[in-house]
Structure 1
Amino acid sequence: MQKKVLKVNPKDNVAVALVDLKEGETVILDNLTYEIIKDTKAKHKFVIEHLNIDDPIIMYGVLVGKANLPIQKGEVITTENVKHQSTKVKGKTETASWIAPDVAQWKDRTFMGYHREDGQVGTENIWLFFPLVFCENRNVEILKDIFEKELLFEKVTKHQLLLRSLVNNSSEFETITEEEKESRVFKNIEVKFITHQGGCGGIRQDAESLGRLLAGYVNNPNVAGATVLSLGCQNLQVQIFKDALEKMNPDHKKPIIVYEQQKSGTVDEMLSGIIKDSYEAIKRANEIERKPASISKLVLGLECGGSDGFSGISANPVLGQLSDLMAGIGGATILSEFPELCGVEQELVNRCVNEKDGERFLQLMKDFEKSVVAAGSGFDMNPSPGNIKDGLITDAMKSAGAAKKGGSSLINDVLDFTEYIKKPGLNLLCTPGNDVECTTALVGSGSNMVLFTTGLGTPTGNPVVPVVKISSNTALYEKMPDIIDFNTGDVIKGEKTIEEKADELLEFIIEVASGNIKTKAAVLQQNDFIPWRRGVSL
């Protein structure tokens, strides 16, 4: 029988409704009986003791808010009776210890990946086209249309086929035959395209930051090589991009084709040259085949979006357990979204192996929040209307649940936006909470797969890495099967433990990394790319 309520941490003074609760209904928690004062929807929280104004709200064992009004025992918390509050942190207060989980069943496991000369291993083999400045977006789009039509038959969608049937005045819905699919020119490589709105017009720092981000994409193990388009006069000069790549990886040997329009004559001449040179390079990259690699070569980006009140007790803890498994194996995970770590800084600082990393984490958080305040907002405004509707009342509450994605292992490094991963184990990466900006940043810092938890659903994907969507609840999994890859809702129902689901998820990840399972975002061709712009436009 499914439990109706849950207290996440023994220190908590709120409980989570696992099902809809009616006014006057009684529930039992830790052998104590509580009467529900008002209707409480599943995912929302009610207090388990009477609270006066300014009394603390504790969840996940940390301060997540304070009472704005008197709240009766058994009464649901809302944005009216609770406001954001988090603990202020100045530095490390203790040295955390960690015992790795048993990884005996995983230590010899492999996936089929693409080995690069620098020792990295990709889960995909991508030839990437991108511009250094938005002025070249049109040319990239032209190239995208040409290459996809000629090289990739499966890019023809059912909606294109529907339109084709209408244009041909045919009553039959055309389909792609298996013979056509098999006739695609290249079997071992995908061709992907990025466009963006940066590279010029903003502050020079944003152009340089974009250059480092794009260098990270080229350095990502999923990328075999790249075709780069430049106008010539923009802030993000070709040399800035090349210098960023050289600094990131002095030994990189990937082929990079660069065309600068202001040196290339007509558009026709430039496009003809790009097509010829890129085709030859893609043909060579197609010779790279999947080979066995230790799963310690996986670099998993950890992210959440469209979160709900169950995210922090099912999907995110499952990712946390998986992150701990990866740390025990010698693999790497990257925890991002700094606005969603507000309120749990003390725990994270204490988990930093190097004290300077803890100091850097706090400084990055401080600088980020300062810039947000200067813009007239604050981290306390982070929860979206959808988050609040589904039980995430304050930013600190949302953050405490979001941080569960990082498990309990020690933190080996703290990275700023566009810095590339250097160490195994758990890393922190400064990114916004915005779904696409965060995913974009994780890939630029070396993730060869992104694990994305959601309680409400989101179609976000990436052009370079598989993005695995993990639902916090079964209702979402059943409602949106076209975008959700993996369900953790059986944790809420008490049918599976967090440890059991983490093992299942790792098995699923190995299949995705080996190319045996295509993510739903990839099927939908969801190739999102939005760089984080920290500055202003000039």
Structure 2
Amino acid sequence: MKTLQIHEKDNVLVVLTDIQKNEEIEYKGKKIVTKQAIPAKHKFTIDDLGKGDFIIMYGVVVGKAKTDLVSGTLITTLNTEHETSGFGKRNKGTEWQAPDIEKFQGRTFKGYHRADGQVGTANYWLVIPLVFCENRNVEVIKDAFMEALGFSKPNPYKTLVHQMSNLYRSGQKNEIENLRIELVQEQKEDRLFKNIDGIKFLTHQGGCGGTRQDSEMLCTLLAGYINNPNVSGATVLSLGCQNAQPSILKEKLAQVNPSLSKPVIILEQQLEGTEQELLSQSVKKTFLALVEANENTRKPAPLCKLSIGLECGGSDGFSGISANPAVGHVSDLIVALGGKTVLSEFPELCGVEQELINRCVDEHTAEKFSSLMSAYSKAAEAAGSGFDMNPSPGNIKDGLITDAIKSAGAAKKGGTSPVTDVLDYGEYLKKPGLNLLCTPGNDVESTTAMAGSGVNIILFTTGLGTPTGNPIVPVIKISSNNKLAERMPDIIDINSGPIITGEKTIEELGEEMLELIIKVASGEKLTKAMELGQDDFIPWKRGVSL
């Protein structure tokens, strides 16, 4: 099969394998002759379209023709522009048909049980600064702990530099090109604390300067990280005079979890005096806290204790028909099992708002989503960077030529279940079911926010390849196509390319992903991002970011 019509209302076909110019394509008894060579992942018109006619994909408006388009014409940024049908009030739809969960009922994962009932898929200790002035001190503490406690990862590139230096010193510069990297696997048995998965050191450029709202939101985000079930406790470094005061962090912690019982060590440099005193106190107090945190061991937990983030980045024209729908099936399975899922990236829900509004469980939830989307869109336009500017050059090159096309495919990660809650940036998960979280489309800003809202696993689809990970939440990377999985096996955990080739169904891939989630959540398997030590953390300053 060379082409696919995603929805019966669509007036374009998706190309699954490269098609040549003047190639004859049969579609529902009609013969369409292509007017250009059309690469895989791109789309061409089924019938003639006039200037101003809508482009329909996934059953919704995703663009508008800039010129007359004859049947068989490749749609591009030159002849098509972003367009959506808008959104309005909630229209209650039909009852949700939950997927069959018999295969997963009664299944468990081995997690870290917290006093508040949350269950972590990992057991991390955090060391975080309240202000950028403390970033260096965080790095000094990191250098003190990582190797001594067995948490440092082998660095083959350091070995490579030593080898090159020795060759250069001995006059063998020409041999440098022949050197080969030897990757060494992490040795967990060398760790002093067997039940701690790592100490995570977060640095950032916030906490002072900027706006007071930015500093307050930073404290909200950090409170969410500390409360995340994958975290056992935290060491917090404060300078003393910054906007992001310890009192604000304590207030946010009390808001997110009034009964929080995790240890939170807060040290202030301007009170401790010398840097040496601050650092020695930080190291000693942290070490003793690690001794206590190490007492927690993995125990069985039902799958309803999973909170799954749904993310995409470096998307391509196959993402919306392979990886994203498969993740959507996982979301439906988790929801049916009583767990939580989170769909974020509001700029990439542009054009499918009405569908999501109709799926909201009540008017209040629908109105909150509508309000957040409208406010975000207006702020973007006011800054001269509307949602229509969201697709990156890589997205466009691989078939996502309008934001609405990108969004319609991205929304498939949310499956078909009802929307039980809508969260603004920094709000913490409360309700089982599918949650919508207001974040930018920026991969790291979005994954950073989801971890701060309490997810304990992230599913991340990609068509072009991205190494993105998170410091405290395992990120499972899913390829939308076979070529990417073959070209970048070091970052891809599971390949949904067989959906494109017809070897597997969306449901089969979804079940495979859930099996992998259970293994990762139980500490039986590391994700590729974890193996690479990809700990990405970027707070959103609530300015315009797509």
Q: What's the TM-score bracket when you normalise by the shorter of the two chains? A: over 0.9
Give how far 1:283 is off.
1.3
Separation in structure 1 between the aligned mates of residue 78 and residue 225 of structure 2, nearest angstrom: 44
Please give the secondary structure, in 1, of the residue aligned with 2:148. Answer: helix
Separation in structure 2 between the aligned mates of residue 268 and residue 342 of structure 1, nearest angstrom: 51
2:185 paired with 1:185: no
2:265 paired with 1:257: yes
Alignment partner, residue 236 of structure 1: 244
Separation in structure 2 between the aligned mates of residue 455 and residue 178 of structure 1, nearest angstrom: 27
Separation in structure 1 between the aligned mates of residue 192 and residue 56 of structure 2, nearest angstrom: 58
The aligned amino acid for 1:74 is G
2:382 paired with 1:384: no
Check whether the contact 2:157–2:181 (CA below 8 A) recurs between aligned residues.
no
Give how far 1:252 is off.
0.8
Residues 22-74 of structure 1: CA deviation (Å, up to 9, x unaligned): 01111223343221111100000001010000001000000001110000101
Give 4+ residue runs of structure 1 displaced > 3 Å after superposition: 161-181
Compared CA separation, residues 421 and 179, structure 1 to 2 (3 A): closer
2:227 paired with 1:226: no
Give how far 1:197 is off.
0.4
Give how far 1:94 is off.
3.1
Compared CA separation, residues 165 and 255, structure 1 to 2 (3 A): farther
The aligned amino acid for 2:308 is L
Separation in structure 2 between the aligned mates of residue 287 and residue 75 of structure 1, nearest angstrom: 64
Alignment partner, residue 521 of structure 1: 529
1:87 to 80, 85, 88: 85
Give how far 1:167 is off.
6.6
The aligned amino acid for 1:83 is E
2:454 paired with 1:446: yes
Residues 447-467 of structure 1: CA deviation (Å, up to 9, x unaligned): 101110000000001110101
Give how far 1:481 is off.
0.3
Check whether the contact 2:467–2:534 (CA below 8 A) recurs between aligned residues.
yes
1:324 to 307, 327, 332: 332
Compared CA separation, residues 66 and 251, structure 1 to 2 (3 A): same
2:425 paired with 1:417: yes
Give how far 1:97 is off.
2.0
Check whether the contact 2:11–2:45 (CA below 8 A) recurs between aligned residues.
yes
Alignment partner, residue 296 of structure 2: 288
Please give the secondary structure, in 1, of the residue aligned with 2:38. Answer: coil
The aligned amino acid for 1:65 is G
Compared CA separation, residues 353 and 174, structure 1 to 2 (3 A): closer
Give how far 1:220 is off.
0.2
Check whether the contact 2:156–2:184 (CA below 8 A) recurs between aligned residues.
no
Separation in structure 1 between the aligned mates of residue 244 and residue 146 of structure 2, nearest angstrom: 28
Residues 211-231 of structure 1: CA deviation (Å, up to 9, x unaligned): 000000000000000000001
Please give the secondary structure, in 1, of the residue aligned with 2:17. Answer: coil
Identity of aligned residues (%): 60
Residues 320-348 of structure 1: CA deviation (Å, up to 9, x unaligned): 11111111100110000000000000000
What CA RMSD, in Å, does the superposition of the two structures yield over aligned residues? 1.9
The aligned amino acid for 1:413 is D
The aligned amino acid for 1:156 is P
Compared CA separation, residues 206 and 335, structure 1 to 2 (3 A): same
The aligned amino acid for 2:507 is E
Alignment partner, residue 147 of structure 1: 145
Residues 371-416 of structure 1: CA deviation (Å, up to 9, x unaligned): 1111111000000010000000111110000000001100000000
Check whether the contact 1:161–1:173 (CA below 8 A) recurs between aligned residues.
no
Compared CA separation, residues 180 and 444, structure 1 to 2 (3 A): closer
Residues 126-145 of structure 1: CA deviation (Å, up to 9, x unaligned): 00100011010000011111
Please give the secondary structure, in 2, of the residue aligned with 1:11. Answer: coil
Separation in structure 2 between the aligned mates of residue 179 and residue 473 of structure 1, nearest angstrom: 29
Check whether the contact 2:125–2:200 (CA below 8 A) recurs between aligned residues.
yes
Give how far 1:95 is off.
3.4
Separation in structure 2 between the aligned mates of residue 519 and residue 391 of structure 1, nearest angstrom: 28
Check whether the contact 1:12–1:61 (CA below 8 A) recurs between aligned residues.
yes
2:112 to 114, 122, 132: 114
Give how far 1:91 is off.
1.3
Residues 199-256 of structure 1: CA deviation (Å, up to 9, x unaligned): 1101111111110000000000000000000011111100101110111100110001
Separation in structure 1 between the aligned mates of residue 290 and residue 361 of structure 2, nearest angstrom: 42
1:339 to 347, 365, 375: 347
Residues 454-484 of structure 1: CA deviation (Å, up to 9, x unaligned): 0000000111010111000010000000011
Compared CA separation, residues 473 and 493, structure 1 to 2 (3 A): same
Please give the secondary structure, in 2, of the residue aligned with 1:339. Answer: helix
2:313 to 305, 310, 320: 305
Give how far 1:168 is off.
7.6
Give how far 1:426 is off.
0.3
Separation in structure 2 between the aligned mates of residue 87 and residue 174 of structure 1, nearest angstrom: 53
Q: How many residues align?
A: 534
Separation in structure 1 between the aligned mates of residue 164 and residue 284 of structure 2, nearest angstrom: 35
The aligned amino acid for 1:146 is A
Give how far 1:153 is off.
5.2
Compared CA separation, residues 371 and 176, structure 1 to 2 (3 A): closer
Compared CA separation, residues 264 and 422, structure 1 to 2 (3 A): same
2:411 paired with 1:403: yes
Compared CA separation, residues 494 and 295, structure 1 to 2 (3 A): same
Compared CA separation, residues 50 and 535, structure 1 to 2 (3 A): closer
Compared CA separation, residues 46 and 511, structure 1 to 2 (3 A): same
Alignment partner, residue 40 of structure 2: 42
Alignment partner, residue 31 of structure 2: 33
Greater Cα offset, 175-184 or 3-12: 175-184
Separation in structure 1 between the aligned mates of residue 32 and residue 71 of structure 2, nearest angstrom: 8
Give how far 1:174 is off.
11
Residues 404-433 of structure 1: CA deviation (Å, up to 9, x unaligned): 000110000000000000001100000000
Separation in structure 2 between the aligned mates of residue 229 and residue 479 of structure 1, nearest angstrom: 42
Check whether the contact 1:56–1:66 (CA below 8 A) recurs between aligned residues.
yes
Separation in structure 2 between the aligned mates of residue 218 and residue 181 of structure 1, nearest angstrom: 24
Separation in structure 2 between the aligned mates of residue 518 and residue 206 of structure 1, nearest angstrom: 34
